With several copies, the nearest count.
Chain A
Amino acid sequence: MLSKTEIAQRIAQELQDGWYVNLGIGIPTLVANYIPEGIEVEFQSENGILGMGPFPFDGEEDADLINAGKQTITALPGAVYFDSATSFAMIRGQHVQLTVLGAMEVSETGDIANWKIPGRMVKGMGGAMDLVASAENIVVAMMHTNKKGESKLLKSCSLPLTGVGCVKKIVTNLAVLEVIPGKGFQLLERAPGVSVEEIQKATAGTLIVEGEIPEMKL
C-alpha cells in the first residue's frame, strides 16, 4: 500500500519533458518533489504564476507571492505573473498539459466529485471545474477508499459533480487505473504487495483486469 508521498512519486512518473503542469492542493502538491531526472516541467498555479518554485526560506516570505493553496512560494528564473482571466485562458485553452487533483469520488465513466458535501461542506469549487472540464490529461490522486472504508471508485458518483467524463487516470494507495469510457476502471498497476483481489474488493465500480497486472515501480 502506498503512502501519500508514494502516490505523488508514482504520479511524477507521468510527467513528460516540456509539460506545463497544474497541481491541486494536498497529495498533488507533493508531485513537484519527484520530478524525474532529465525532465523539465513548469508548474502553473491558477492564482497567477507560471514557474512556481519551492517554499521561501524562513523570513523571506512575500505576502504578494502565493500559490492557489494560499501558501507562500517563490518564483524560479523565467517565471511570469498574470491575472486570473489569463490564467484560466491557459487552462481552458489547453495550454496546460497535465492537471493533478484530488477527489472524493470518481465514477467509472470518468465523472469526478470533489467540491461539495450537501448540507455539510460547502467550500466552493475554486478552479477545479475549469480544470477538469478543460485539461487533456487529468490524473486523480486519492486514497482508494474513504475514512469509513467505502470505495471512492464508483459506478456513478453520489456527491455533486465537479466534471463529467473527464478523468483519465487514477493513482491511489492501492493501484493505478485508467478510465475506459463505457467499460470501467482498467487496472494498470498494483501497489507493491497489494493483490488484484484486494483492489477488486476496494473498487465499487466495474474493474477491468486483463492479463497479468504488474506491480508499480517507484
Chain B
Amino acid sequence: MNKVVENVEEACKDITSGVTIMLGGFGLCGIPENAIAELVKKSITDLTCISNNAGVDDFGLGLLLQKHQIKKMISSYVGENDEFERQMLSGELEVDLIPQGSLAERCRAGGAGIPAFFTPAGYGTEVAEGKEVREFNGKPHILESALTADFAIVKAWKGDTAGNLIYKATAKNFNPMMAMAGKITIAEVEELVPAGELNPNEIHTPGIFVQRIFQGETYEKRIEQRTVRTK
C-alpha cells in the first residue's frame, strides 16, 4: 500500500479555499513546516484551521494569519501571536477556543467514530454555553462533540511508504489524533523509509490513518522559548 507522493505540491494539490484543515503541533514544536509554507504559497483563503496554537507572528500558522488566509481558528491557546490577537479583537477572525484536553479528545473522537462524549472540563464556564450538562458520580460534565476535517496535516519524525509514522519526543502532541480525524490525512516526515524498516511495535500512527506521505525538504524547527542552564 504505497502512500508516497512526490512532494508537498502534490500532497496539497486539492486543498482549496474554504476547507477545514487540522494541523498538528504544539506551539512551533512538531508542526508541518513544509505544508504550511505550501498553503501560504497557494494563497488559498477562508480556511478553518484546527490547531492547538496559532504559531508566532512570523512562523507556523502565523504566516497564514499574516496573509489573512484564515477565516476561523479552533484552538486552545493563541498567546505569543500579536497579529492573531489583533485580528480576533477586531472581529476579522472567528475564533473558537476549546480546552486543550477537550480539543485532543474531540479530534480522537472524530477519528474513532465517537460522535460525542462527556467531560468535566469547562463546566460552569463560557465553554459550556449551549451544551448539555449531566451529572456522573455527583460531578457535572458537559457533552462535547467530535471534530473532523477535510484535511489533516501532520508532521512525523520517521514514516514509511505504507504511511506508518513515528514521532519524536514532545513533537508528537496533537499529531496522532489529528492523523485519525482527517478525511484526507497528509503526513510530512523528516525521514521516509520503505515499508518494513520501521519496527511494527514502535509505530505511533498506523498507516491506515494516512492517505499521503512525503519527505519534507528542510526543517527550521524554530524554538519558541530557548531556556538553558549553565554548566
Please give the residue numbers on chain A whose beta carbons come within 8 Å of chain B beta carbons, in ascending order.
Answer: 18, 20, 40-42, 44-51, 54-73, 75-96, 111, 119, 122-130, 133-134, 160-165
* B52 contacts across to A, CB distance below 8 A: 84
User: Would A125 and B100 count as touching, CB distance under 8 A?
Assistant: yes
The reply on B172 being an interface residue by CB < 8 A is yes
User: Would B78 and A85 count as touching, CB distance under 8 A?
Assistant: no
Chain B contact residues: helix, strand, loop or mixed: loop
Complex Cα distance, B175 from A84, in Å, reads: 9
* A56 contacts across to B, CB distance below 8 A: 228-229
B residues 85-114 touching A (CB-CB < 8 Å): 85, 88-89, 95, 97, 99-105, 107-108, 110-114
Q: List the 6 closest A-B pairs by CB distance, nearest first.
A: A77-B196, A88-B101, A78-B195, A92-B113, A164-B124, A130-B101
Complex Cα distance, B176 from A47, in Å, reads: 13
Complex Cα distance, B173 from A46, in Å, reads: 9
Tell me which of A57, A77, A83 contacts B104 (CB under 8 A). A83
User: Would B176 and A85 count as touching, CB distance under 8 A?
Assistant: yes
* A125 contacts across to B, CB distance below 8 A: 76-77, 97, 99-100, 127
Tell me which of A45, A50, A92, A123 contacts B121 (CB under 8 A). A92
Determine the residue in chain B with the shortest Cβ distance to A79: B200
Knowing A78-B196, A90-B208 touch, does A133 contact B120 (C-beta < 8 A)?
yes
User: Would B171 and A133 count as touching, CB distance under 8 A?
Assistant: no
User: Would B1 and A40 count as touching, CB distance under 8 A?
Assistant: yes
The reply on B79 being an interface residue by CB < 8 A is yes
Tell me which of B125, B169, B206 contacts A64 (CB under 8 A). B169
Q: How far is the CB of A60 from chain B (nearest CB, A)?
A: 8
User: Would A162 and B172 count as touching, CB distance under 8 A?
Assistant: no
Interface residues on chain B, size class: 35 or more
Tell me which of A57, A129, A134 contacts B127 (CB under 8 A). A129
Determine the residue in chain B with the shortest Cβ distance to A126: B77
* B104 contacts across to A, CB distance below 8 A: 83-85, 87-88
User: Would B100 and A127 count as touching, CB distance under 8 A?
Assistant: yes
* A89 contacts across to B, CB distance below 8 A: 108, 111-113, 180
Knowing A63-B222, A65-B170 touch, does A123 contact B208 (C-beta < 8 A)?
no
The reply on B34 being an interface residue by CB < 8 A is no
The reply on B231 being an interface residue by CB < 8 A is yes
* A160 contacts across to B, CB distance below 8 A: 125-126
Q: List 11 A-B contacts (CB under 8 A).
A: A42-B207, A46-B100, A47-B170, A83-B204, A84-B100, A88-B101, A93-B113, A119-B89, A123-B77, A126-B76, A129-B102
B residues 11-37 touching A (CB-CB < 8 Å): 26-30
